[in-house]
Amino acid sequence: DGGITQSPKYLFRKEGQNVTLSCEQNLNHDAMYWYRQDPGQGLRLIYYSQIVNDFQKGDIAEGYSVSREKKESFPLTVTSAQKNPTAFYLCASSIQGNFISYNEQFFGPGTRLTVL
């Protein structure tokens, strides 16, 4: 089955530690995205990547880092510089968009990160 997997489903970290969230897709999509979801605030874009070895900051990139070494993988690192990292993190992917058409974003099941 094609889709997006995120692991782990639940993650706990101590304050001051970096942690990496995994996102893998086998949909052969060029574009991948990371969102953060907080209660009452909808989804906010952290980083996105349109192609391998390239990525751009979203609206709330501070305290996060990403890499895109392979088409199917887009890991997100939450660093100790992120002031309030406890949230639900969602990864998504899509075929590459253009100015004529929109391409649906497919979402993974999410990772819930809790800082203790």
Residues that bind another protein (CB under 8 A): 4, 6, 31, 40-45, 48, 50, 56, 58, 90, 92, 94, 96-99, 101-110
Cβ-based neighbours of 51, under 8 Å, separated by 6 or more? 30, 31, 68, 96
Q: How is residue 6 written in tokens?
A: 């995120």
Give min distance, CB of 71 to another protein, in A.
15
Identify which of residues 4 and 21 has a Cβ nearer to another protein in the complex.
4
Give min distance, CB of 43 to another protein, in A.
4
- Beta bridge partners, 7, equal 22
Identify which of residues 10 and 83 has a Cβ nearer to another protein in the complex.
10
Identify which of residues 16 and 41 has a Cβ nearer to another protein in the complex.
41
Identify which of residues 6 and 82 has a Cβ nearer to another protein in the complex.
6
CA dist 61 → 26, 91, 104 (Å): 25, 14, 23
Give min distance, CB of 99 to another protein, in A.
4
Give min distance, CB of 42 to another protein, in A.
4
